[in-house]
Amino acid sequence: MRRNFFLKYVMFSLITALLIPSSAFAEGTEVEIPTFTEASIHDPSVIKVDDMYYVFGSHLGVAKTKDFMNWTTVAAGVNPNNPLFDNVVEELKKTLEWAETDTLWAPDVIELNGKFYMYYNACEGSSPRSAMGVAVADHIEGPYKDEGIFLKSGMWNQASEDGKIYNATIHPNAVDPHAFLDEDGKLWMVYGSYSGGIFILQMDATTGLPLEGQGYGTKLMGGNHSRMEGPYIQYVPETGYYYLYITFGGLGADGGYNMRVVRSENPDGPYVDAEGNDMTTVRGADGTFFDDKAIEPYGVKLMGNYLFENMTSNSTVSTGIGYVSPGHNSVFYDEETGRQLLLFHSRFPQRGEQHEIRVHQLFMNDDGWPVVVPYRYAGEELAKISSEGVSGDYQFINHGKEITEKIKKSVMITLLADGTITGEVNGTWTVEGDNKANLVINDYSYQGFFLKQWDPISKSDVMTFTAVSEQGMTIWGSQLEEMSDEDAVTYVKNTLKLGNTMAVITDVSLPTVSTFDTEISWKSSDSSIVSEQGAVKRPYSEQDTTITLTATISKNETMATKSFKLVVLPAEEAKVEGEGYAEVEAVDQTTNLVVWIGLVLLSLGLVTIFVIRRKRNNYRRGIYVK
């Protein structure tokens, strides 16, 4: 029996060793592989209690963790069985009735005077008819007792909280609260979503209620239904600034949700972005709904849709690692260590509306702006790094400033040992001090950090960088492990594409170099029609012509081939010569212009109807419904 057990143990150990990636044993040290346990909480707001960290989110969802990596769900759902209240449906009946809904939106919990104050809220969904109140408990997990509603919105044709008739273009939607203490111990609450913008109220730290006579409070930004929501303010003593985090766009997978930050020397503003723009003036144009173009140039964009593609030779294993519509964040600031963590929910590529909590570490750059690291938190620390450890091939993402549903996919760049950057972007890089990153890319200067992080694709610790420009754009880089010649050639073969080759009418772009120092040569089955350089000469015929282009990918002595079929359309119009050709061309252009104008005029009525219907639907799909 002992002998059999020993043999089984040896076999198990061998199999386990084979399954661990070779990178885990780099430099003779075994890398600890982090583990994660997920939870699905929308709009997570963080609070620390003893050695536990809680997040409270929409629909009365709560989860907790001790390490920001492994989460346990505590509560979920607005129903009588939710343990946070004895019976939340009865306890908050007036709130739900006012908002004409059966659920709650993003709450916030703060500890005051030894008790826990939950700022709850509910919204109708297709309009900003909302109510906000506070409930109090002796313990973080409840039960909470309602202290009543203190703020309402959406009272059409009635006096609002400031005594004027409610106007959704200038008055706030009473949702998405965050309560915080300033450096002097005064209590504030920032709130708002779309509608008239983001507002802040000074609160009574004894009762947890707003001080009298403020109406809706002070406006910080937004208005005219511009898509801004989920405000969160964090004071950082090291910089002396209050940082207002905000999410732009719509929360759905197609909404372009993205996180931004602005700052102020005072809790109630004014807040400015990296270019010094006063955010109180940032709003949609008058008479518009969801005017993203008007607001997207403003704020420091921390993160939007992105995808680090799988750059391993086996490119069919996974599409990569990325997020879709990450947002509605909170921030945990550790007063003892100064560590900051960004907590938010995110959707994911090819996973629809499914969402989970994600946590990324934040650092402050030399300009006093937060930079977010590329990969989720796995216990990483800033450490002294060398320039030699930085140089190499990287996946690169520039989050830009757009509000878009498109996923920004990583591109290849190389940080050369001489301090230059080549590849899809060009520039320079330096390491200052222990780990500070200074990069100049396409004439924009970025400041941030180099640090090693756990890469879930390669399953190893890799060098990364994160930096923010003076224009408020965030860039990320993730270093690629050095590939063997065979793996490099295989990867390029698997990813080499020419686009749509089924109706070729113009020259084809044929790359001759690719990633990982590979070279590509081309062979055409008929170079008189498509040359090895991609020049296309369409034949005079009545039939399409099929051509085969064969790529030979090589690196040193390793080679592989990949063939592409091209269908070249005939140049029938070239048969018409002289004035006759010009006549035909002119007639065709005139006919096309008439048809085009007719279609535009016909569609105007349809577009008007579509826009009206779309606006109504958008409120329910991505504007207010959480």
Provide the annotated active-site residues. 43, 229
- Cα separation of 472 and 9, whole Å? 55
Edge to edge, what strands does the sheet with 241-248 contain? 228-236, 241-248, 258-264, 300-303
The DSSP line for 433-481 is TTTEEEEEETTEEEEEEEEEEEETTTTEEEEEEEEEETTS-EEEEEEPP
Burial 279-317 (b: 16+ CB within 10 A, else e): bbebbbeeeebbbbeebbebbbbbbbbbbbbbbbbebee
Give the three-state DSSP class for 520.
strand
Cα separation values, 422 from 80, 425, 435, 440, 587, Å:
60, 6, 21, 12, 48
**C-alpha angle 532-538-542 in degrees, rounded to nearest 5:** 140
Give the whole-angstrom CA distance, residue 451 versus residue 193.
35
The two tokens of residue 102 are 């059966």
Q: With CA atoms as reference, report the closest residue to 477 among 566, 415, 526.
A: 415
Phi, psi (rounded to 5 degrees) for 490: -65, -40
Dihedral pair phi/psi, residue 23, rounded to 5°: -65, -20
What sign for the dihedral angle of Cα 528, 533, 534, 536? negative
Q: How are strands ordered across the β-sheet holding 518-524?
A: 513-514, 518-524, 545-555, 558-568
Q: How would you class 444 by CB atoms within 10 Å of its CB: exposed for 0-12, middle for 13-18, buried for 19 or more? A: middle
Q: Which residues pair with 303 in a beta bridge?
A: 259
Which residues make beta-bridge pairs with 112?
A: 115
Reported as type and span, the H/E element at residue 493 is helix 485-495
Q: What is the DSSP string of 192-253?
A: -BSTT-EEEEEE-TTTSSBPTT-TT-EEEE--TT-SEEEEEEEEETTTTEEEEEEEESBSST
Strand order in the sheet with 356-364: 370-372, 356-364, 340-347, 320-333, 306-309, 408-409
Rounded-to-integer distance, Cα 90 and Cα 73, Å: 23
Alpha-carbon distance 558 to 416, whole Å? Answer: 24
Across the beta sheet with 115-123, the strand order is: 108-112, 115-123, 130-137, 145-153
The one-letter amino acid at 403: I
CA 189 to chain centre: 25
Q: Alpha-carbon distance 473 to 289, whole Å?
A: 25
Give the separation between CA 412 and CA 418, rounded to whole angstroms: 18
CA-based nearest residue to 263, from 247, 246, 283, 249: 246
Question: Rounded to 5 degrees, what are φ and ψ at 414?
Answer: -130, 125
The distance of Cα 198 from the centroid of its chain, to the nearest Å, equals 21
The residue type of 31 is V
- Cβ atoms within 10 Å of 600's Cβ, excluding its own: 10
